[in-house]
């Protein structure tokens, strides 16, 4: 009888032991799954065990300033999203993220004044026109206005910031005049100045008063053009030569202005109206944004065309440089 | 009897219009660029006729028109033959050409058909091009 009792007791003990073993094995498996070895060892991540993460970032939105006019070149009011389509590298874009007026945008303007020998006979007139432009009532106190002069081998930023009152006869007399024309170097210098103080919601604009005949620049017309397109600045070129015929000078000015979405203006027309036109133009622009339809890196050509009314005419920059997403490898701290 | 013919014409006008509208297929212009006019001006013989043929410097608009089943590449006959880029374009095939109805106007604008492709095939090809571009881009950025 006692023998039987012992064997029953032993069986019970063995069963209990078996349960403990089974339970401890299960607990250890669960613990390993919940807390990996490196956590249990040092309670911290090891940089060798954690893989470095690579992520890509890139701008996929295009913001495009444009101007709409009718056949008589009058500004079109009340333009809707459905009235136009953007051709981005020949792809038709009709799906826009936003469409706003540029009137609410503040301006960052650089006036580029040519002081070289080729414009010397007309320099007085050129200076007065620049003065008339800054005294137009359309400017707002928030707009930034700077003056950069060029002539000989020099390009000088003579006034930076709030230069509405800079155009005086004293300043005009003090300006160096004569020498060669470093127009393209001056345009590049202006784009650099604007790029340094670039802010979201501020439109960078260059107004060039020149005859367009560059004679000494280190940079070429192509370099200046590339810089303008890459920096997405608006160029208004005021041709002070008074030549109505095509020349190298006015075609260079026209190229820079047209491809930036700005305008080429000749002072052989009524200067007061032209200058008023620049201010009106800057306030009548529209800004449309959309996602890039094709992520090919490099130059993307741009054009805006009507969707219904073929009498509508659009002006915008002719393209932009798209940069592909750049990979960056980073390790978690 | 004198008034019967005009009356009959008047009554049948909506039916004629409806029939004409029914002839049109719908599509959407997805691409447009200014391209070579050779095909539009002289057709196949000028395009493939060799160097003795006159070379035209003018550029003509080239549109990629996508319909539910077929994708057409069409070329205008002059630089100013533009069609509005509205969401939906009405068009019909007429004597080896593609006639596009310009924004509800009564007239049509006729284009030379440069290419035709089944839509699924065109989409497959585009996907392939996209993949190749992305791969090239990736290689470029990693170097």
Structure tokens at B77: 């006959």
In a domain, A312, yes or no: yes
Chain B residues closer than 8 Å to A307 by CB: 84-87
Instruction: Tell me how far apart the alpha carbons of residues A62 and A83 are, in angstroms, rounded to a whole number.
Output: 19
Chain B residues closer than 8 Å to A310 by CB: 82, 84, 102-103
Beta-bridged to residue A210, according to DSSP, are A239
Q: What is the pLDDT of residue A222?
A: 96
Q: Between B29, B82, B137, which is nearest A92 by CB?
A: B29
Residue A45 confidence (pLDDT) above 90: no
Average pLDDT, integer, range A209-223: 94
The answer to whether A307 contacts B87, with C-beta atoms less than 8 Å apart, is yes
Beta-bridged to residue B65, according to DSSP, are B29, B72
Q: Say if residue A28 is in the same domain as residue A64.
A: no
Asked if A65 contacts A316 with a C-beta cutoff of 8 angstroms, the reply is yes
Q: Look-up: residue for tokens 């008047």?
A: B10
Structure tokens at B79: 């630089």
Which tens digits make up the pLDDT trace of B92-142?
998 889 999 886 666 889 999 999 999 999 999 999 988 888 888 778 777
Looking at residue A182, the DSSP 8-state letter turns out to be -
Instruction: Tell me how far apart the alpha carbons of residues A18 and A82 are, in angstroms, rounded to a whole number.
Output: 77
In a domain, A49, yes or no: no
Q: Say if residue A155 is in the same domain as residue A69.
A: yes
Average pLDDT, integer, range B10-34: 70
Per the structure, the complete domain to which residue B78 belongs is given by: 25-118
Closest-approach residue (CA) in chain A for B101: A308
Give the confidence band of B23 by pLDDT, cuts at 50, 70, 90: confident
Chain A residues closer than 8 Å to B31 by CB: 90-92
Chain A residues closer than 8 Å to B103 by CB: 308-310
Residue B45 confidence (pLDDT) above 70: no
Q: Say if residue A298 is in the same domain as residue A187.
A: yes
The answer to whether B85 contacts A326, with C-beta atoms less than 8 Å apart, is no
Instruction: Tell me how far apart the alpha carbons of residues A200 and A197 are, in angstroms, rounded to a whole number.
Output: 10
Asked if A109 contacts A207 with a C-beta cutoff of 8 angstroms, the reply is yes
Asked if A275 contacts A303 with a C-beta cutoff of 8 angstroms, the reply is no
In a domain, A137, yes or no: yes
Residues 103-122 of A with CB under 8 A from B: none
Chain A residues closer than 8 Å to B134 by CB: 295
Q: Say if residue A151 is in the same domain as residue A108.
A: yes
Residue B19 confidence (pLDDT) above 50: no
Tally of domains within chain B? 1
Lowest mean pLDDT among A156-160, A166-170, A256-260: A166-170
Q: Say if residue A34 is in the same domain as residue A132.
A: no
Chain A residues closer than 8 Å to B33 by CB: 87, 90
CA nearest A200: which of A163, A232, A236, A159?
A232
Lowest mean pLDDT among A151-155, A202-206, A219-223, A244-248: A244-248
From edge to edge, which strands make up the β-sheet containing A144-151?
Answer: A154-159, A144-151, A106-114, A202-210, A234-239, A263-266
Q: Say if residue A178 is in the same domain as residue A240.
A: yes
Tally of domains within chain A? 2
Residue A117 confidence (pLDDT) above 70: yes
Q: Is A280 in the B-facing interface, judged by CB distances under 8 Å?
A: no
In a domain, B47, yes or no: yes
Q: With pLDDT > 70 as the criterion, what percentage of chain B qualifies?
A: 68
Residue B75 confidence (pLDDT) above 50: yes
Q: Say if residue A170 is in the same domain as residue A33.
A: no
Q: Look-up: residue for tokens 């300006």?
A: A175
Q: What is the pLDDT of residue A28?
A: 59
Q: Say if residue A33 is in the same domain as residue A138.
A: no
Q: Look-up: residue for tokens 């070289």?
A: A116
Residues with Cβ < 8 Å from A69, sequence gap 6 or more? Answer: A75, A76, A312, A313, A314, A315
Q: What is the pLDDT of residue A46?
A: 43
Q: Is A13 in the B-facing interface, judged by CB distances under 8 Å?
A: no
The answer to whether A305 contacts B85, with C-beta atoms less than 8 Å apart, is yes
Query: Which of residues B93 and A37 earns the better pLDDT score?
Result: B93
Q: Say if residue A284 is in the same domain as residue A236.
A: yes
Residue A42 confidence (pLDDT) above 50: no
The answer to whether B84 contacts A327, with C-beta atoms less than 8 Å apart, is no
The answer to whether A325 contacts B133, with C-beta atoms less than 8 Å apart, is no
The contact set of B with A (CB < 8 A) is: 29-33, 82, 84-87, 102-103, 133-134, 137, 140-142
The answer to whether A324 contacts B33, with C-beta atoms less than 8 Å apart, is no
Q: Say if residue A79 is in the same domain as residue A23.
A: no
Q: Say if residue A15 is in the same domain as residue A149.
A: no
Q: What is the pLDDT of residue B96?
A: 87
Q: Between B30, B86, B141, which is nearest A324 by CB?
A: B141
Instruction: Tell me how far apart the alpha carbons of residues A55 and A160 are, in angstroms, rounded to a whole number.
Output: 40
Average pLDDT, integer, range A141-166: 89
In a domain, B129, yes or no: no
Average pLDDT, integer, range A120-126: 84
Q: With pLDDT > 90 as the criterion, what percentage of chain A qualifies?
A: 44
In a domain, B53, yes or no: yes
Average pLDDT, integer, range A199-226: 92
In a domain, A265, yes or no: yes
Per the structure, the complete domain to which residue A125 belongs is given by: 60-333
CA nearest A300: which of A67, A63, A60, A90?
A90
Query: Which of residues A148 and B140 earns the better pLDDT score?
Result: A148
Q: What is the pLDDT of residue A327?
A: 56
CATH number at residue A219: 3.40.50.410
In a domain, B92, yes or no: yes
Q: Is A14 in the B-facing interface, judged by CB distances under 8 Å?
A: no
The alpha carbon of A290 is separated from its chain's Cα centroid by a whole number of angstroms, namely 14
Residue B10 confidence (pLDDT) above 60: no
Asked if A197 contacts A234 with a C-beta cutoff of 8 angstroms, the reply is no
Give the confidence band of A43 by pLDDT, cuts at 50, 70, 90: very low
In a domain, A180, yes or no: yes
Lowest mean pLDDT among A252-256, B21-25, B79-83: B21-25
In a domain, A54, yes or no: no
In a domain, B2, yes or no: no
Classify the C-alpha dihedral A41-A42-A44-A47 as positive or negative.
negative
Q: What is the pLDDT of residue A1?
A: 46
Q: Say if residue A193 is in the same domain as residue A280.
A: yes
In a domain, A195, yes or no: yes
Q: Is A306 in the B-facing interface, judged by CB distances under 8 Å?
A: yes
In a domain, B1, yes or no: no
In a domain, A248, yes or no: yes
b/e map B43-61, b = 16+ CB within 10 Å:
eeebeeeeeeeeeeeeebb
Mean pLDDT of chain A: 82
Chain A residues closer than 8 Å to B142 by CB: 327
Query: Which of residues B91 and A327 earns the better pLDDT score?
Result: B91
């Amino acid at each position: 009888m006692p023998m039987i009792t012992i064997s029953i007791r032993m069986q019970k003990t063995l069963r209990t032991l078996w349960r403990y073993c089974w339970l401890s094995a299960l607990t250890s498996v669960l613990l390993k799954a919940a807390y990996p070895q490196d956590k249990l060892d040092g309670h911290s991540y090891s940089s060798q065990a954690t893989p470095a993460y690579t992520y890509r970032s890139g701008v996929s939105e295009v913001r495009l300033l444009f101007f709409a006019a009718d056949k008589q070149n009058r500004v079109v009011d009340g333009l809707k999203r459905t009235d136009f389509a953007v051709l981005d590298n020949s792809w038709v874009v009709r799906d826009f993220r936003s469409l706003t007026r540029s009137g609410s945008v503040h301006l960052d303007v650089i006036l580029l004044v040519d002081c070289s020998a080729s414009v010397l006979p007309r320099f007085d007139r050129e200076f007065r026109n620049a003065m008339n432009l800054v005294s137009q009532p359309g400017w707002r106190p928030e707009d930034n206005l700077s003056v950069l002069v060029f002539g000989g081998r020099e390009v000088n930023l003579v006034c930076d910031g709030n230069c509405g009152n800079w155009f005086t006869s004293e300043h005009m007399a003090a300006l160096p005049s004569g020498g060669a024309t470093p127009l393209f170097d001056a345009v590049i210098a202006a784009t650099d100045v604007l790029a340094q103080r670039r802010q979201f919601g501020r439109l960078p604009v260059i107004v060039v008063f020149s005859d367009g005949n560059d004679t000494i620049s280190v940079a070429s017309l192509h370099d200046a053009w590339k810089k303008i397109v890459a920096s997405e600045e608006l160029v208004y070129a005021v041709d002070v030569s008074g030549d109505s015929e095509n020349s190298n000078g006015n075609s260079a000015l026209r190229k820079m202005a047209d491809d930036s979405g700005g305008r080429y203006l000749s002072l052989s027309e009524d200067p007061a109206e032209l200058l008023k036109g620049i201010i009106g133009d800057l306030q009548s622009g529209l800004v449309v944004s959309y996602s890039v339809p094709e992520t090919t890196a490099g130059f993307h050509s741009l054009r805006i065309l009507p969707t219904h009314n073929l009498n509508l005419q659009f002006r915008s920059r002719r393209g932009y440089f798209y940069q592909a997403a750049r990979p960056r490898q980073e390790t978690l701290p | 009897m004198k008034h019967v013919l005009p009356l009959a014409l008047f009554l049948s006008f909506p039916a004629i219009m409806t029939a004409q509208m029914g002839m049109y297929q719908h599509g959407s212009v997805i691409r447009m660029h200014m391209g070579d006019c050779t095909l539009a001006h002289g057709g196949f013989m000028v395009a493939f006729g060799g160097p003795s043929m006159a070379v035209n410097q003018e550029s003509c608009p080239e549109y990629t028109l996508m319909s539910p089943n077929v994708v057409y590449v069409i070329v205008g006959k002059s630089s100013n033959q533009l069609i509005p880029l509205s969401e939906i374009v009405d068009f019909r095939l007429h004597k080896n050409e593609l006639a596009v109805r310009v924004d509800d106007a009564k007239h049509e604008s006729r284009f030379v058909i440069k290419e035709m492709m089944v839509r699924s095939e065109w989409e497959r090809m585009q996907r392939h091009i996209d993949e190749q571009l992305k791969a090239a881009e990736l290689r470029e950025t990693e170097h």
